[in-house]
Structure 1
Amino acid sequence: MGFWSTIARLAVRRVDAAECADCPPGLPGQDPAFTTAVTALGAKLAKADGRADAAEFAVFAEVFQPEAGAERDVRRLYNLARQTTQGYESYARRLAKRYRNCPQLLEDVVDGLFHIAAADGVGSPEEFVYLERVSELFGVSPMVFRRIRATHFGLDADDPYVVLGVAPDVSDAELQAARRRLLAETHPDKVRARGLPHEFVEVFTAKAAAINAAFDVAMAERRQFAGQLA
């Protein structure tokens, strides 16, 4: 029996099937606790911005693809769960506990939830708070969260990683390499060698300052996150 068929049987009984103490081991597709929790998290995300319309189920189904025969009952569970955002942290905690040895799977769930949030092209502050909290409960690092968010919504224009041209979760060594590479291109000798007028040296001096400032901000954030985890 496919996992959507399994969850369909549970959905008709109760919305809180993730409390089941006898959930089967194995792949997520065979685990009703996983599918119940993911369905509830997707539904409650739809409610986070104060709206929960039927179109959002279509986006949820696009990401998590319920089997045709189970869609009716999955939709019923989804509609029950989306009535309120309350309880989403409980689902996230249980999913994190059950799949604590599969961090990539939990990251994939966050990615899927972001896809749902991005369906209307605009992420609300409430949705970002919801997603950040779920990511935190999953143990997803702030930098990975930032990278996933950037994948779906882009980075803010003043984000240091935009200036440095790298993803937020690159290593320190990669961050330093990006800084060196960019600074090399702003060196006055390189500017003149490209045939640019003398005035451009000042432009690239300012650009070098911005690169160094972005690097300092990024490293300060990393030290802060590392301190919080210590």
Structure 2
Amino acid sequence: MSFWGKIIGGFTGFLTGGPIGALVGAAMGHAADTGAGRLGDPAQLAAMLGTREQLFAVGVVVLSAKLAKCDGPVKRVEIDAFKRQFRIPPENMGEVAKLFDSAREDAQGYEHFADRMGHAFADRREMLEDVLAALFSIARADGPLTNGEVAFLQRVQLGFGLDAPAWTRARDSTSQKPRPMPTGPDPYQVLGIAPGATDDEARATWRRLVRENHPDAVASRGGGADMVRRAADKVAEINAAWDRIKRDRKL
């Protein structure tokens, strides 16, 4: 399943009310009303998209286009990368292409979409992490990340409400295949808590351990490269344990 299909497929009722082209078409109608086919005021457009479906459909297109623009003229390889990451059905590509072209005229205004998506999908952080990983792939399509692209992605991370481990996973992601089912040691032993611990106790312990073991924290304490690598492995183990506990408890 494509990355786009994976997100839509996991979101019940995503296409209720019409195909994605209709959602993008509504945004394009607004753009036409606000200035000769331009995107218009990004803040106003983001506010207009009242449903999660509309916001997601338009938000990923706008973020991708403005990311491609932030380091200079948009290149074909960046457009191709966008199409690979978000596989829009052929019948909807015309509307999406128009919105992409309008959004890429400048790199301004993306913050409104990142913030609105972070608020709307606060209960779907894993999905937002997948979107951030897709944006990393688009940014790398034309070469190593530039300072401007890193700043853009960090602002998207902030708007999405994602933590440092999510940033690391998205940055280091090499594919958009579904994550494998985690295996390994007892997750409660990894966190150092009893199986009978409350949800709040487990969550608080996970957050504390991530904070204490984060590679940046280790580096700030003077840890060398080996210690930082070990810290990264430890945080990955902690996150995997918490993911298993959340899934088992249906949190």
Matches within 5 A, 1:1-230: 1-14=18-31, 15=39, 16=42, 17-20=45-48, 22-23=50-51, 31-152=53-174, 172=209, 211-212=226-227
Amino acid at match of 1:109: V
107-116 vs 50-59, which moves further: 50-59
CA contact (8 A) 2:63 2:110 kept: yes
Aligned twin of 2:191: none
The Cα shift of 1:19 comes to: 2.2
**Shift of residue 172 of structure 1?**
4.6
Contact kept in structure 1, 2:24 and 2:96, CA below 8 Å: yes
What's the % identity of the aligned pairs?
Answer: 27
How many matched pairs?
164
The 3 A distance-change label for structure 1 pair 59 and 214 is: closer
Change in Cα spacing, 1:71 to 1:143, as seen in structure 2 (3 Å) is same
1:217–1:6 Cα change, 3 Å: closer
Which portions of structure 1, spanning 4 or more consecutive aligned residues, are displaced by more than 4 angstroms?
Answer: 212-219
The answer on whether the counterparts of 2:75 and 2:142 sit within 8 Å (CA) in structure 1 is no
Kindly indicate whether the alpha-carbon contact (under 8 Å) linking 2:49 and 2:55 is maintained by their aligned counterparts in 1.
no
Give CA-to-partner distance per residue, 1:116-174, whole Å, 9 cap, x none: 1121232111111110110111111122212321335xxxxxxxxxxxxxxxx9x959x
Summarize deviations over 1:12-63 as a string: whole Å, max 9, x none.
Answer: 442354322542x6xxxxx122111111100000011122134422211111
Q: Which amino acid aligns with 1:3?
A: I
SS in 1 for 2:141: helix
Q: Provide the C-alpha distance between the structure 2 equivalents of 1:131 and 1:139, rounded to a whole number of angstroms.
A: 12
Q: Output the CA distance in 2 between the equivalents of 1:217 and 1:73.
A: 42
TM-score where L is the length of structure 1: 0.61
Q: Kindly state the Cα deviation for residue 64 of structure 1 after the two structures are TM-superposed.
A: 0.8
CA distance in 1, matches of 2:228, 2:155: 29
1:214/1:3 Cα in 2 relative to 1: closer, same or farther (>3 Å)?
Answer: closer
- Per the alignment, residue 181 of structure 1 pairs with none
Structure 2 unpaired stretches of 5+: 1-17, 32-38, 175-205, 214-223, 235-251
Distance in 2 between residues matched to 1:216 and 1:120, nearest whole Å: 31
Structure of greater relative contact order (alpha carbons < 8 Å, 6+ residues apart): 2
State the structure with more CA Rg.
Answer: 1
Write the distance in 2 (CA, Å) between the matches of 1:98 and 1:120. Answer: 31
Query: What stretches of structure 1 of length at least 5 have no aligned partner?
Result: 26-30, 153-168, 177-208, 220-230
> How far 1:217 sits from its partner (Å)?
10
**TM-score scaled by length of structure 2:** 0.56
Amino acid at match of 2:20: F
